[in-house]
A = this chain, B = another copy of it.
Amino acid sequence: MKLNQLTYGIVGLGIMGGSFAKAIRQNILCQNGSTGKVYACNRSTACLDMAMKEGVADKVFTSDNVSKMLPECDVVFVCLYPHATLDFLREHRDEFKSGAVVTDISGVKGIFEKQLPSILRPDVDFIIGHPMAGGEKEGYANSKASFFVEHNYILCPIESNKEDNLEMMRSLVTAMGFTRITETTCDIHDYKIGFTSQLCHVIACALVDSAEDEEITAFGGGSFEDLTRIAMINAPLWSELFISNKEKLCEHIKQFRAYLDAFDNSIKAEDSEQLQALLNLSREKRLKMGSIRTSVKK
């Protein structure tokens, strides 16, 4: 079936779920001849009313009647916190449509690889995915169809995934605006994300926490602002992500601290040569790393 003929179910209509719904509506279901639908489910109803009013959702459901939504959906995006996603899959195991593709947005994948086999039915294909987009803004009100444009998407295929369904997911996220799809294992995902995302959030928050006063922006030239934008953090979500990935994250913290100590020692010793070697290394490495949008701008 074509993407514009599928029924999509969004579980959790926050900034991520809302952006999926809007991107599907705008990029896929606005085509001529589209017969697909967007169904949305959320615990609270304010965002559901908004999604109906804006024409983003065709039908909406709450936690009480999501059992009526799931059997109709060809593709389900579960946009909840990591453990809540697993709980949802467990609780609603028998309600998914046979042959459905179900996917998640969780920033940590090891727990999925471990728990999925005991949760899912063989006739439901769960594709582990991670849309690499976010920000300090939350909620449906901040969601938008263009939220994912030029962002990275990570897929962690597992043995049971059907190649047709993986190909459908690739087309679907590409149609939503994602520009670089990387396929890897859950283990590598968690290690890399532990560095590029989780370690960065730990650093940003530790930096803000260590500030002695709040009257420092008069002394800012942009660096502090850049480093701490992500410190306006959702504490329950990130606490769960950090703890769910603790071995890998703490390994990254350890490696980072070793370099922090190297800087500290060479500054204290006034060892300009060693200090410049550390700084030149970071300049050269950073330049080689390019941009998250490297593949687009080339």
Query: Taking beta carbons and an 8 Å cutoff, which residues of A are in contact with B?
Result: 132-135, 151-152, 154, 180, 182, 189, 192-193, 195-197, 199-212, 214, 216-233, 235-236, 238-240, 242-243, 246, 249-250, 252-260, 262-264, 267-268, 270, 272, 275-276, 278-283, 285-292, 294-295
Instruction: Tell me whether B235 and A280 are in contact (CB under 8 A).
Output: yes
- Bound Cα distance A199, B16 (Å): 33
Instruction: Tell me whether A242 and B208 are in contact (CB under 8 A).
Output: no
Instruction: Tell me whether A282 and B209 are in contact (CB under 8 A).
Output: yes
- Bound Cα distance A133, B285 (Å): 24
Q: Which of B210, B239, B257 contacts A255 (CB 8 A)?
A: B210
Instruction: Tell me whether A292 and B220 are in contact (CB under 8 A).
Output: yes
Instruction: Tell me whether A206 and B280 are in contact (CB under 8 A).
Output: no
- Bound Cα distance A237, B107 (Å): 38
For A196, the chain B residues whose CB sits under 8 A away are 216-217, 219-221, 223-224
Instruction: Tell me whether B209 and A285 are in contact (CB under 8 A).
Output: yes
Give the shortest distance, in Å, between A260 (CB) and chain B (any CB): 5
Instruction: Tell me whether B232 and A203 are in contact (CB under 8 A).
Output: no
Give the shortest distance, in Å, between A101 (CB) and chain B (any CB): 23
